[in-house]
Structure 1
Amino acid sequence: MKICFLNPFGTDAYDEIIGTVLKGSLLPDTTLEIRHLDAGPRNLDYYAPKQVVQVEILKAVKQAEVDGFDAVVIGCCYDPALTEARELVSIPVIGPLESSVGLARPFGHRFAIVTDHHKAVPMLQDTIRIYGAEPNCVGVESIGWFVDDMVLDPVAVAEDTYLKILDVMHRTGAETVIVGCTIVSACYELAAANGDSKFSELSVVNPNIMAVKAAELFAQLNSRGMYRISRAAFYQALSSHDPIEAAEVAPYFQSTRV
Protein backbone atom coordinates (compact mmCIF):
# COMPACT_ATOMS: atom_id res chain seq x y z
CA MET A 1 0.00 0.00 0.00
CA LYS A 2 1.14 3.50 -0.80
CA ILE A 3 -0.16 6.12 1.63
CA CYS A 4 0.23 9.89 1.33
CA PHE A 5 0.27 11.83 4.60
CA LEU A 6 -0.38 15.44 3.66
CA ASN A 7 0.69 18.12 6.10
CA PRO A 8 -1.75 20.90 5.10
CA PHE A 9 0.71 23.68 5.80
CA GLY A 10 2.64 25.77 3.30
CA THR A 11 5.94 24.70 4.86
CA ASP A 12 8.01 21.54 5.34
CA ALA A 13 8.71 22.41 8.99
CA TYR A 14 6.54 19.58 10.33
CA ASP A 15 7.36 16.78 7.89
CA GLU A 16 10.26 15.30 9.81
CA ILE A 17 8.54 15.02 13.18
CA ILE A 18 5.46 13.40 11.62
CA GLY A 19 7.58 10.91 9.70
CA THR A 20 9.55 9.99 12.82
CA VAL A 21 6.41 9.31 14.84
CA LEU A 22 4.68 7.26 12.15
CA LYS A 23 7.46 5.08 10.79
CA GLY A 24 7.15 2.42 13.52
CA SER A 25 3.39 2.00 13.16
CA LEU A 26 3.19 0.89 9.53
CA LEU A 27 2.42 -2.54 8.17
CA PRO A 28 5.38 -4.21 6.41
CA ASP A 29 3.92 -3.64 2.93
CA THR A 30 3.01 0.02 3.50
CA THR A 31 4.97 2.84 1.93
CA LEU A 32 4.34 6.23 3.53
CA GLU A 33 5.22 9.52 1.88
CA ILE A 34 4.99 12.75 3.85
CA ARG A 35 3.99 15.73 1.71
CA HIS A 36 3.21 19.34 2.50
CA LEU A 37 1.52 22.10 0.55
CA ASP A 38 3.70 24.08 -1.84
CA ALA A 39 1.44 27.13 -1.81
CA GLY A 40 -0.85 28.98 0.56
CA PRO A 41 -0.55 30.08 4.19
CA ARG A 42 1.77 28.32 6.65
CA ASN A 43 -1.14 27.26 8.84
CA LEU A 44 -4.91 27.25 9.03
CA ASP A 45 -5.54 28.34 12.61
CA TYR A 46 -7.78 31.19 11.50
CA TYR A 47 -10.90 30.86 9.41
CA ALA A 48 -10.00 33.15 6.50
CA PRO A 49 -6.59 31.56 5.71
CA LYS A 50 -8.21 28.16 6.19
CA GLN A 51 -10.36 28.73 3.11
CA VAL A 52 -7.27 29.33 0.99
CA VAL A 53 -5.55 26.27 2.45
CA GLN A 54 -8.52 24.03 1.70
CA VAL A 55 -8.30 24.75 -2.04
CA GLU A 56 -4.62 23.76 -1.95
CA ILE A 57 -5.54 20.59 -0.05
CA LEU A 58 -7.97 19.60 -2.78
CA LYS A 59 -5.28 20.11 -5.41
CA ALA A 60 -2.83 18.00 -3.38
CA VAL A 61 -5.34 15.20 -2.81
CA LYS A 62 -6.20 15.10 -6.51
CA GLN A 63 -2.48 14.98 -7.34
CA ALA A 64 -1.96 12.14 -4.87
CA GLU A 65 -4.60 10.13 -6.70
CA VAL A 66 -2.90 10.88 -10.04
CA ASP A 67 0.43 9.82 -8.52
CA GLY A 68 -0.94 6.40 -7.66
CA PHE A 69 -1.43 6.62 -3.91
CA ASP A 70 -3.88 4.14 -2.43
CA ALA A 71 -5.13 6.56 0.28
CA VAL A 72 -4.51 10.07 1.58
CA VAL A 73 -4.42 11.37 5.14
CA ILE A 74 -5.14 15.09 5.56
CA GLY A 75 -2.82 15.66 8.50
CA CYS A 76 -4.73 18.15 10.63
CA CYS A 77 -7.37 17.58 13.30
CA TYR A 78 -9.60 20.23 11.80
CA ASP A 79 -10.13 17.58 9.08
CA PRO A 80 -9.98 20.41 6.53
CA ALA A 81 -11.59 19.80 3.13
CA LEU A 82 -12.31 16.20 4.10
CA THR A 83 -15.83 15.99 2.71
CA GLU A 84 -14.87 17.93 -0.40
CA ALA A 85 -11.86 15.67 -1.03
CA ARG A 86 -13.99 12.54 -0.77
CA GLU A 87 -16.33 14.05 -3.32
CA LEU A 88 -13.42 14.80 -5.64
CA VAL A 89 -11.42 11.53 -5.72
CA SER A 90 -12.05 7.81 -5.74
CA ILE A 91 -9.33 6.72 -3.31
CA PRO A 92 -9.99 6.81 0.46
CA VAL A 93 -9.31 10.15 2.17
CA ILE A 94 -8.87 10.09 5.93
CA GLY A 95 -9.27 12.78 8.59
CA PRO A 96 -7.34 12.38 11.86
CA LEU A 97 -10.10 13.71 14.11
CA GLU A 98 -12.83 11.64 12.48
CA SER A 99 -10.66 8.53 12.78
CA SER A 100 -9.80 9.22 16.41
CA VAL A 101 -13.38 9.92 17.41
CA GLY A 102 -14.54 6.77 15.68
CA LEU A 103 -11.89 4.70 17.44
CA ALA A 104 -12.04 6.36 20.87
CA ARG A 105 -14.60 4.04 22.44
CA PRO A 106 -12.28 0.98 22.58
CA PHE A 107 -9.91 3.12 24.67
CA GLY A 108 -12.54 4.41 27.10
CA HIS A 109 -16.23 5.23 27.43
CA ARG A 110 -15.93 9.01 27.72
CA PHE A 111 -13.23 11.04 26.05
CA ALA A 112 -11.90 14.58 26.07
CA ILE A 113 -9.88 16.45 23.48
CA VAL A 114 -6.72 18.35 24.30
CA THR A 115 -5.81 20.70 21.46
CA ASP A 116 -3.21 23.37 20.80
CA HIS A 117 -4.75 26.81 21.39
CA HIS A 118 -7.94 28.71 22.18
CA LYS A 119 -8.90 29.33 18.54
CA ALA A 120 -9.10 25.58 17.89
CA VAL A 121 -11.49 24.85 20.76
CA PRO A 122 -14.80 26.06 19.23
CA MET A 123 -13.87 24.66 15.83
CA LEU A 124 -13.31 21.20 17.30
CA GLN A 125 -16.44 21.46 19.44
CA ASP A 126 -18.47 22.13 16.29
CA THR A 127 -16.83 19.23 14.46
CA ILE A 128 -17.46 16.81 17.33
CA ARG A 129 -21.13 17.80 17.17
CA ILE A 130 -21.23 17.14 13.43
CA TYR A 131 -19.63 13.74 13.96
CA GLY A 132 -22.36 12.82 16.44
CA ALA A 133 -19.92 12.21 19.28
CA GLU A 134 -20.92 15.08 21.56
CA PRO A 135 -22.65 12.85 24.18
CA ASN A 136 -19.41 11.01 24.93
CA CYS A 137 -17.06 14.00 24.64
CA VAL A 138 -16.72 15.63 28.05
CA GLY A 139 -14.80 18.65 26.84
CA VAL A 140 -12.29 20.31 24.53
CA GLU A 141 -9.40 22.23 26.12
CA SER A 142 -6.11 23.68 24.91
CA ILE A 143 -2.50 23.89 26.04
CA GLY A 144 -1.89 27.40 24.66
CA TRP A 145 0.61 26.64 21.89
CA PHE A 146 0.48 27.74 18.24
CA VAL A 147 1.90 25.50 15.55
CA ASP A 148 4.78 27.77 14.54
CA ASP A 149 6.27 27.49 18.02
CA MET A 150 5.84 23.75 18.59
CA VAL A 151 8.77 22.51 16.50
CA LEU A 152 11.04 24.92 18.35
CA ASP A 153 10.49 23.10 21.67
CA PRO A 154 8.66 19.77 21.27
CA VAL A 155 9.76 18.65 24.75
CA ALA A 156 7.97 21.59 26.38
CA VAL A 157 4.89 20.91 24.24
CA ALA A 158 4.87 17.27 25.40
CA GLU A 159 5.22 18.26 29.07
CA ASP A 160 2.42 20.82 28.86
CA THR A 161 0.22 18.28 27.11
CA TYR A 162 0.88 15.63 29.74
CA LEU A 163 -0.03 18.00 32.57
CA LYS A 164 -3.17 19.15 30.77
CA ILE A 165 -4.28 15.55 30.17
CA LEU A 166 -3.85 14.72 33.86
CA ASP A 167 -5.85 17.80 34.81
CA VAL A 168 -8.64 17.15 32.30
CA MET A 169 -8.98 13.51 33.34
CA HIS A 170 -9.18 14.48 36.99
CA ARG A 171 -11.76 17.25 36.52
CA THR A 172 -14.01 15.73 33.87
CA GLY A 173 -13.83 12.00 34.41
CA ALA A 174 -12.57 11.44 30.86
CA GLU A 175 -11.21 7.92 30.57
CA THR A 176 -9.17 8.66 27.48
CA VAL A 177 -7.95 11.79 25.70
CA ILE A 178 -7.60 12.51 22.01
CA VAL A 179 -4.60 14.78 21.54
CA GLY A 180 -6.47 16.83 18.97
CA CYS A 181 -3.68 18.41 17.07
CA THR A 182 -1.42 16.34 14.85
CA ILE A 183 1.69 18.31 15.77
CA VAL A 184 0.96 18.32 19.52
CA SER A 185 0.34 14.60 19.32
CA ALA A 186 3.61 14.10 17.44
CA CYS A 187 5.50 15.95 20.18
CA TYR A 188 3.79 13.80 22.81
CA GLU A 189 4.56 10.51 21.05
CA LEU A 190 8.15 11.58 20.43
CA ALA A 191 8.57 12.13 24.17
CA ALA A 192 7.06 8.70 24.87
CA ALA A 193 9.38 7.07 22.33
CA ASN A 194 12.39 8.73 23.97
CA GLY A 195 11.84 6.64 27.07
CA ASP A 196 9.87 8.72 29.56
CA SER A 197 7.40 6.11 30.80
CA LYS A 198 4.90 8.62 32.21
CA PHE A 199 3.75 9.51 28.69
CA SER A 200 2.88 5.89 27.95
CA GLU A 201 0.95 5.35 31.19
CA LEU A 202 -2.01 7.54 30.21
CA SER A 203 -4.78 6.46 27.82
CA VAL A 204 -4.11 8.75 24.89
CA VAL A 205 -5.43 8.51 21.33
CA ASN A 206 -2.88 9.65 18.75
CA PRO A 207 -4.68 11.06 15.68
CA ASN A 208 -1.65 10.62 13.42
CA ILE A 209 -1.49 6.90 14.07
CA MET A 210 -5.27 6.43 14.05
CA ALA A 211 -5.48 8.16 10.66
CA VAL A 212 -2.66 6.15 9.09
CA LYS A 213 -4.05 2.85 10.38
CA ALA A 214 -7.47 3.82 9.03
CA ALA A 215 -5.82 4.70 5.70
CA GLU A 216 -4.22 1.25 5.57
CA LEU A 217 -7.55 -0.39 6.35
CA PHE A 218 -9.55 1.49 3.73
CA ALA A 219 -6.81 1.19 1.12
CA GLN A 220 -6.84 -2.56 1.66
CA LEU A 221 -10.63 -2.65 1.40
CA ASN A 222 -10.47 -0.57 -1.78
CA SER A 223 -7.96 -2.94 -3.35
CA ARG A 224 -10.46 -5.75 -2.79
CA GLY A 225 -13.43 -3.84 -4.15
CA MET A 226 -14.93 -3.36 -0.68
CA TYR A 227 -14.55 0.41 -0.22
CA ARG A 228 -18.14 1.09 -1.18
CA ILE A 229 -18.47 4.80 -0.48
CA SER A 230 -21.99 6.03 -1.17
CA ARG A 231 -22.34 8.48 -4.01
CA ALA A 232 -26.09 8.87 -3.49
CA ALA A 233 -26.02 12.30 -1.83
CA PHE A 234 -23.36 13.46 0.65
CA TYR A 235 -20.37 12.29 -1.42
CA GLN A 236 -22.02 12.53 -4.82
CA ALA A 237 -19.53 13.78 -7.41
CA LEU A 238 -20.42 16.74 -9.58
CA SER A 239 -19.52 14.69 -12.67
CA SER A 240 -22.47 12.39 -12.06
CA HIS A 241 -24.84 15.35 -11.93
CA ASP A 242 -23.39 17.62 -14.60
CA PRO A 243 -20.32 16.32 -16.50
CA ILE A 244 -19.96 19.56 -18.45
CA GLU A 245 -19.81 21.73 -15.33
CA ALA A 246 -17.46 19.20 -13.68
CA ALA A 247 -15.09 19.57 -16.62
CA GLU A 248 -15.29 23.35 -16.34
CA VAL A 249 -14.28 23.40 -12.65
CA ALA A 250 -11.67 20.62 -12.90
CA PRO A 251 -8.78 23.04 -13.66
CA TYR A 252 -9.30 24.69 -10.27
CA PHE A 253 -8.17 21.45 -8.62
CA GLN A 254 -5.13 20.74 -10.79
CA SER A 255 -1.88 20.87 -8.89
CA THR A 256 1.29 22.59 -10.11
CA ARG A 257 3.37 19.99 -8.26
CA VAL A 258 5.99 18.38 -10.50
Structure 2
Amino acid sequence: MRARILVIHPMGTDMYNEWTLNVLGSAVSPTTALSVRHLPGLPETPFVPEPELWRDEFFAAVVAAERDGFDVVLSACTSDPLVREAKPLVGIPVTGPFEALSHTAPAMGPLTIIASGYKIDTWAPRAVAHGFDPGMVNVRMADFSHPDPETAESLFATDVGKLRDVVMAEMERALVEDGIEQARRAVEEDGAASVFFACSLWSGMLGRVVEQVQGVAVLDPLVMPLKYAEYLARVRHSAG
Protein backbone atom coordinates (compact mmCIF):
# COMPACT_ATOMS: atom_id res chain seq x y z
CA MET A 1 0.00 0.00 0.00
CA ARG A 2 1.29 3.47 -0.90
CA ALA A 3 2.02 5.64 2.15
CA ARG A 4 0.71 9.21 2.16
CA ILE A 5 2.70 11.76 4.17
CA LEU A 6 1.78 15.39 4.62
CA VAL A 7 4.39 18.03 5.51
CA ILE A 8 2.95 21.20 7.05
CA HIS A 9 4.74 24.54 7.04
CA PRO A 10 3.31 26.70 9.87
CA MET A 11 3.05 29.79 7.68
CA GLY A 12 0.32 31.62 5.84
CA THR A 13 2.21 31.42 2.54
CA ASP A 14 3.18 28.62 0.18
CA MET A 15 6.61 30.14 -0.51
CA TYR A 16 8.43 27.02 0.74
CA ASN A 17 6.01 24.33 -0.43
CA GLU A 18 7.52 23.63 -3.85
CA TRP A 19 11.03 24.04 -2.43
CA THR A 20 10.26 21.34 0.15
CA LEU A 21 9.02 18.93 -2.49
CA ASN A 22 12.17 19.54 -4.53
CA VAL A 23 14.49 19.08 -1.55
CA LEU A 24 12.83 15.85 -0.49
CA GLY A 25 12.24 14.50 -3.98
CA SER A 26 15.44 12.47 -4.11
CA ALA A 27 15.00 11.18 -0.56
CA VAL A 28 11.38 10.07 -0.58
CA SER A 29 10.67 6.37 -1.09
CA PRO A 30 9.04 5.32 -4.39
CA THR A 31 6.23 3.86 -2.27
CA THR A 32 5.50 7.20 -0.57
CA ALA A 33 3.20 9.93 -1.87
CA LEU A 34 4.46 13.21 -0.39
CA SER A 35 2.39 16.39 -0.13
CA VAL A 36 3.20 19.79 1.36
CA ARG A 37 0.72 22.31 2.73
CA HIS A 38 0.85 25.62 4.56
CA LEU A 39 -1.77 27.21 6.82
CA PRO A 40 -3.95 29.46 4.64
CA GLY A 41 -5.82 30.93 7.60
CA LEU A 42 -2.73 32.79 8.79
CA PRO A 43 -1.66 36.26 7.64
CA GLU A 44 0.42 36.05 4.46
CA THR A 45 3.85 37.11 5.64
CA PRO A 46 7.31 35.58 5.06
CA PHE A 47 7.84 34.96 8.78
CA VAL A 48 6.75 32.06 10.95
CA PRO A 49 4.43 33.45 13.66
CA GLU A 50 4.68 32.49 17.30
CA PRO A 51 2.96 29.12 17.89
CA GLU A 52 0.09 30.56 19.88
CA LEU A 53 -0.92 32.49 16.74
CA TRP A 54 -1.26 29.37 14.57
CA ARG A 55 -2.47 26.80 17.11
CA ASP A 56 -6.04 26.57 15.80
CA GLU A 57 -4.98 26.55 12.14
CA PHE A 58 -2.42 23.80 12.74
CA PHE A 59 -4.88 21.65 14.66
CA ALA A 60 -7.46 22.10 11.91
CA ALA A 61 -4.88 21.14 9.26
CA VAL A 62 -3.97 17.98 11.19
CA VAL A 63 -7.62 16.95 11.49
CA ALA A 64 -8.12 17.68 7.78
CA ALA A 65 -5.09 15.54 6.93
CA GLU A 66 -6.63 12.51 8.60
CA ARG A 67 -9.92 13.16 6.86
CA ASP A 68 -8.07 13.42 3.53
CA GLY A 69 -6.50 10.01 3.98
CA PHE A 70 -2.93 10.85 4.98
CA ASP A 71 -1.05 8.27 7.04
CA VAL A 72 1.32 10.66 8.85
CA VAL A 73 1.52 14.41 9.43
CA LEU A 74 5.01 15.92 9.68
CA SER A 75 5.58 19.46 10.91
CA ALA A 76 8.36 21.28 9.05
CA CYS A 77 9.38 23.34 12.08
CA THR A 78 12.44 21.78 13.71
CA SER A 79 11.45 22.62 17.29
CA ASP A 80 8.13 20.70 16.97
CA PRO A 81 5.78 23.40 18.31
CA LEU A 82 2.26 22.03 18.97
CA VAL A 83 3.14 18.53 17.76
CA ARG A 84 2.50 16.87 21.11
CA GLU A 85 -0.71 18.81 21.59
CA ALA A 86 -2.00 17.74 18.15
CA LYS A 87 -1.48 14.00 18.65
CA PRO A 88 -4.68 13.34 20.66
CA LEU A 89 -6.82 15.01 17.99
CA VAL A 90 -6.37 12.30 15.38
CA GLY A 91 -5.79 8.59 14.95
CA ILE A 92 -2.76 8.99 12.70
CA PRO A 93 0.81 9.82 13.79
CA VAL A 94 1.72 13.49 14.08
CA THR A 95 5.44 14.08 14.33
CA GLY A 96 8.18 16.63 13.76
CA PRO A 97 11.94 16.88 13.23
CA PHE A 98 12.80 17.00 16.91
CA GLU A 99 10.71 13.97 17.80
CA ALA A 100 12.36 12.11 14.93
CA LEU A 101 15.73 13.24 16.26
CA SER A 102 14.89 11.90 19.72
CA HIS A 103 14.28 8.45 18.22
CA THR A 104 17.40 8.52 16.03
CA ALA A 105 20.38 10.30 17.58
CA PRO A 106 20.54 8.55 21.00
CA ALA A 107 21.25 5.22 19.31
CA MET A 108 24.43 6.70 17.82
CA GLY A 109 25.92 8.38 20.89
CA PRO A 110 26.60 12.04 21.74
CA LEU A 111 24.68 14.63 19.74
CA THR A 112 25.58 18.21 18.86
CA ILE A 113 22.79 20.54 17.76
CA ILE A 114 23.88 23.39 15.50
CA ALA A 115 21.45 26.29 15.73
CA SER A 116 21.01 29.99 15.21
CA GLY A 117 21.80 32.47 17.96
CA TYR A 118 18.30 33.66 18.77
CA LYS A 119 17.22 30.19 19.92
CA ILE A 120 20.54 28.94 21.20
CA ASP A 121 19.46 28.58 24.84
CA THR A 122 16.32 26.60 24.05
CA TRP A 123 17.76 23.50 22.42
CA ALA A 124 19.42 21.68 25.33
CA PRO A 125 16.31 21.91 27.57
CA ARG A 126 14.18 20.77 24.65
CA ALA A 127 16.47 17.77 24.12
CA VAL A 128 16.25 16.80 27.79
CA ALA A 129 12.45 17.15 27.65
CA HIS A 130 12.49 14.70 24.75
CA GLY A 131 14.40 12.13 26.78
CA PHE A 132 18.03 12.89 25.95
CA ASP A 133 20.59 12.39 28.70
CA PRO A 134 21.86 15.93 29.48
CA GLY A 135 25.44 14.70 29.25
CA MET A 136 24.89 13.47 25.70
CA VAL A 137 23.82 16.79 24.12
CA ASN A 138 25.87 19.83 23.14
CA VAL A 139 24.72 22.96 21.31
CA ARG A 140 26.77 25.09 18.94
CA MET A 141 25.92 28.22 17.00
CA ALA A 142 26.01 28.90 13.28
CA ASP A 143 24.14 32.18 13.19
CA PHE A 144 22.06 33.41 10.30
CA SER A 145 19.73 36.33 9.81
CA HIS A 146 16.70 37.00 7.68
CA PRO A 147 16.10 40.15 5.65
CA ASP A 148 14.90 43.12 7.68
CA PRO A 149 11.10 43.24 7.91
CA GLU A 150 10.69 46.13 5.47
CA THR A 151 12.80 44.46 2.77
CA ALA A 152 11.19 41.09 3.39
CA GLU A 153 7.66 42.43 3.14
CA SER A 154 8.51 44.40 0.00
CA LEU A 155 10.01 41.37 -1.76
CA PHE A 156 7.20 39.17 -0.49
CA ALA A 157 4.71 41.46 -2.20
CA THR A 158 6.64 41.80 -5.48
CA ASP A 159 8.91 38.77 -5.98
CA VAL A 160 8.52 35.83 -3.59
CA GLY A 161 11.05 33.79 -5.55
CA LYS A 162 13.72 36.43 -5.07
CA LEU A 163 12.93 36.63 -1.37
CA ARG A 164 13.31 32.88 -1.05
CA ASP A 165 16.64 33.05 -2.90
CA VAL A 166 17.86 35.76 -0.50
CA VAL A 167 16.90 33.67 2.52
CA MET A 168 18.53 30.54 1.11
CA ALA A 169 21.71 32.43 0.25
CA GLU A 170 21.97 33.53 3.88
CA MET A 171 21.43 29.97 5.10
CA GLU A 172 24.19 28.78 2.79
CA ARG A 173 26.51 31.57 3.95
CA ALA A 174 26.01 30.58 7.58
CA LEU A 175 26.68 26.96 6.72
CA VAL A 176 29.84 27.64 4.74
CA GLU A 177 31.30 30.32 7.02
CA ASP A 178 30.47 28.71 10.35
CA GLY A 179 28.33 25.57 10.21
CA ILE A 180 30.96 23.29 8.72
CA GLU A 181 33.55 24.43 11.25
CA GLN A 182 31.08 23.95 14.11
CA ALA A 183 30.40 20.42 12.89
CA ARG A 184 34.14 19.74 12.83
CA ARG A 185 34.51 21.07 16.37
CA ALA A 186 31.53 18.97 17.43
CA VAL A 187 33.51 15.88 16.48
CA GLU A 188 36.86 17.01 17.85
CA GLU A 189 35.73 18.78 21.04
CA ASP A 190 32.28 17.34 21.86
CA GLY A 191 32.93 13.77 20.75
CA ALA A 192 29.72 13.98 18.71
CA ALA A 193 28.50 10.90 16.89
CA SER A 194 25.84 12.95 15.10
CA VAL A 195 25.10 16.59 14.35
CA PHE A 196 21.66 18.07 13.76
CA PHE A 197 21.27 21.37 11.91
CA ALA A 198 18.28 22.92 13.65
CA CYS A 199 16.52 24.84 10.91
CA SER A 200 14.51 23.20 8.15
CA LEU A 201 15.89 25.72 5.64
CA TRP A 202 19.31 24.03 5.93
CA SER A 203 17.80 20.92 4.40
CA GLY A 204 19.39 19.84 1.14
CA MET A 205 22.59 21.86 1.76
CA LEU A 206 24.40 19.50 4.08
CA GLY A 207 26.23 17.33 1.55
CA ARG A 208 29.28 19.56 1.88
CA VAL A 209 29.30 18.90 5.65
CA VAL A 210 29.33 15.17 4.94
CA GLU A 211 32.21 15.68 2.49
CA GLN A 212 34.35 17.87 4.75
CA VAL A 213 33.72 16.47 8.23
CA GLN A 214 34.62 12.88 8.83
CA GLY A 215 33.41 10.52 11.53
CA VAL A 216 29.97 11.99 12.23
CA ALA A 217 26.42 11.37 11.05
CA VAL A 218 24.89 14.56 9.61
CA LEU A 219 21.15 14.60 10.30
CA ASP A 220 19.24 16.65 7.75
CA PRO A 221 16.35 18.57 9.39
CA LEU A 222 13.78 17.48 6.80
CA VAL A 223 15.18 14.28 5.27
CA MET A 224 15.72 12.56 8.62
CA PRO A 225 12.15 13.22 9.88
CA LEU A 226 10.76 12.22 6.47
CA LYS A 227 12.41 8.82 6.86
CA TYR A 228 11.00 8.55 10.37
CA ALA A 229 7.54 9.44 9.05
CA GLU A 230 7.87 6.77 6.37
CA TYR A 231 8.71 4.25 9.07
CA LEU A 232 5.63 5.29 11.05
CA ALA A 233 3.48 4.89 7.94
CA ARG A 234 4.84 1.38 7.31
CA VAL A 235 4.19 0.38 10.92
CA ARG A 236 0.69 1.77 10.71
CA HIS A 237 -0.02 -0.20 7.53
CA SER A 238 1.39 -3.42 9.01
CA ALA A 239 -0.97 -3.05 11.95
CA GLY A 240 -3.89 -3.19 9.58
- Whether TM-score is above 0.5 comes out as yes
Residue 77 of structure 1 deviates from its aligned partner by 1.2
SS of the residue corresponding to residue 184 of structure 2 reads helix
Q: Does structure 2 retain, via aligned residues, the 8 Å contact 1:112–1:177? A: yes
Question: Aligned partners of 1:75 and 1:169: how far apart in 2?
Answer: 27
Residue 55 of structure 1 deviates from its aligned partner by 2.8
Query: Structure 1 residues 54 and 121, CA, compared in 2 at 3 Å: closer, same or farther?
Result: farther
Q: How does 1:73-222 map to 2 (within 5 A)?
A: 73-106=74-107, 108-115=108-115, 117-146=116-145, 150-159=167-176, 160-189=178-207, 197-198=211-212, 202-222=216-236
Residue 12 of structure 1 deviates from its aligned partner by 2.3
> Which residue of structure 2 aligns with residue 255 of structure 1?
none
Residue 141 of structure 1 deviates from its aligned partner by 2.3
CA offset digits 1:105-126 (Å, max 9, x no partner): 34x31111001x2232222222
Query: Structure 1 residues 182 and 74, CA, compared in 2 at 3 Å: closer, same or farther?
Result: same
Q: Does structure 2 retain, via aligned residues, the 8 Å contact 1:14–1:183? A: no
TM-score (norm: length of structure 1)? 0.74
- AA aligned to 2:33 is T
Segment of structure 1 superposing worse, 202-211 or 77-86:
202-211
Unaligned runs of 5+ in 1: 227-258
- AA aligned to 1:97 is F
Segment of structure 1 superposing worse, 128-137 or 78-87:
128-137
Unaligned runs of 5+ in 2: 148-165
- AA aligned to 2:60 is K
CA offset digits 1:80-111 (Å, max 9, x no partner): 111111011111111111111211134x3111
SS of the residue corresponding to residue 177 of structure 1 reads strand
Query: Structure 1 residues 182 and 219, CA, compared in 2 at 3 Å: closer, same or farther?
Result: same
Q: Does structure 2 retain, via aligned residues, the 8 Å contact 1:18–1:186? A: no
Question: Aligned partners of 2:110 and 2:215: how far apart in 1?
Answer: 18
- AA aligned to 1:165 is A
CA offset digits 1:26-53 (Å, max 9, x no partner): 22111101112221464447xxx22112
Percent same amino acid among aligned pairs?
A: 26
Residue 3 of structure 1 deviates from its aligned partner by 0.7
Count of aligned positions:
217
Residue 147 of structure 1 deviates from its aligned partner by 5.6
